[in-house]
Structure 1
Amino acid sequence: MASSEKAVKMLGTWPSPFCLRVELALKLKGISYEHIEEDLSNKSPLLLQLNPVHKTVPVLIHNGKAIAESLIILEYIHETWPKLAPLLPENAYKKALVRFWADFFEKKVTETFRAAVLKSGKEQDMAVLSFTENLKVFEHGIQKDFEGENPFFNGESPGFLGILVGSLSTWIKVMEEFRGERLVETEKTPLFCSWLCAFNEVGLVRETSLEHGRLLSYVKALREKIFGLPNMRKI
């Protein structure tokens, strides 16, 4: 093990797609790390010390130095171990495109999906509609800017964008089960569906992905705590 790979730790919590991103990046690069599970209802002194601004996970610790926020951590991992399964293209223009669409995915797709999880009734319906419309924009933009480079936008293995897309995979399936309808439909976003399928076929991804049954139970408990009823169509 090279000296730059020593003392890699990650503070995370298992249901978080943001933490999953970091774990996927480390595993794709073959970087050994120690996972430290955090209870966000009872945050540890270590977490509060290392991420005093946002006070949340993920936090990557490398040689005693802490880095917070999943997108920033992914960039750090890429730059620290650039030759091991690169997450970003070498070409400056292509790299800028990846960063643009990663920012869009985070602010538009992920945020509207999060709203769908935490809302009910008409507010949830509006969030789901926004999520679907943002997916269409994302799909169209990726098709235009990365033509011929799908499904990973990074050659033969998932890169920065592929990790973001795939990190929501199990969450999307669980939400579809709660809603009783498809959130990601082949008829509406065929390319996005194909990207999810391709991502889920990668061995390391299957090994690292969130366990469906466990996440389903977690979301049930979360929604019962917020609304009193787990079934979204009954709220």
Structure 2
Amino acid sequence: MPLLTDKTAIVTGGSSGIGRAIALKFAAEGANVVIADTVEQPIEGGESTVELIRSAGGAAVYIRTDISDWSAVDGLVGATVTQFGRLDVMVNNAAIYTSTNLIDTTPEQWQRVIGVNLTGFFYCSKRAVIQMLAQAPVNDVRGRIINLSSQHGMVACPGDFPYSVSKGGIVQMTRQIAVDHADDLIVCNAIAPGKIITGKPGVANDPGALDYSHRRTPWPRLGHPNDVAGAALFLASDMASYVTGINLMVDGGWMAG
């Protein structure tokens, strides 16, 4: 039996990369999936996430959403519930970065990164919890929130000031939601990916950076988006009903070394 039959999930940033892999994994396990992103076409090219899910017989919709805008997030959750009846899983994945240190980060860059990576997660989590409190529990859980943090929320990434600060905030946000809403039967966890190879442009796929990541990661390969999707599936499923407030490392042993 599929692990997410009759569940409905929102995946922010679900058009590309890790979010796309999570959405595809959830759909393959029976979930209705709402892709919330600022663009529908994937960075990697090819068919959109929604098209891939529908062609495989799954249920998916795309809703253009800037998560740094409360009204957009409010509309996203409202439209999801109108279409599918409830919200079981909110995956907060959408994120941006600037690769700037403290001195080089402009106030505008800071506000934009924090606005998406931290305030956006706050908006999505708050709106999700409002909905989850209004719906009946299923197998003793009203709903689940999965936040994508990063190993850079625990250790500093040189020259990536606003992004790393935002990811550290997400780790604490996860703990806070988990503790504050345990009595409400709402589960909240985070996943901290290590080096994951995606289609993301820029310094992340610079040959020097990849070489450093290979040397720094104990496992003999770097991560794939599907590695993170597997962890998200576990946390979204009934297998993880007594797991809340954790920051699950998916990093090939990087943080253990």
State the TM-score, normalizing by the size of structure 2.
0.36
Select the structure that is richer in helix: 1
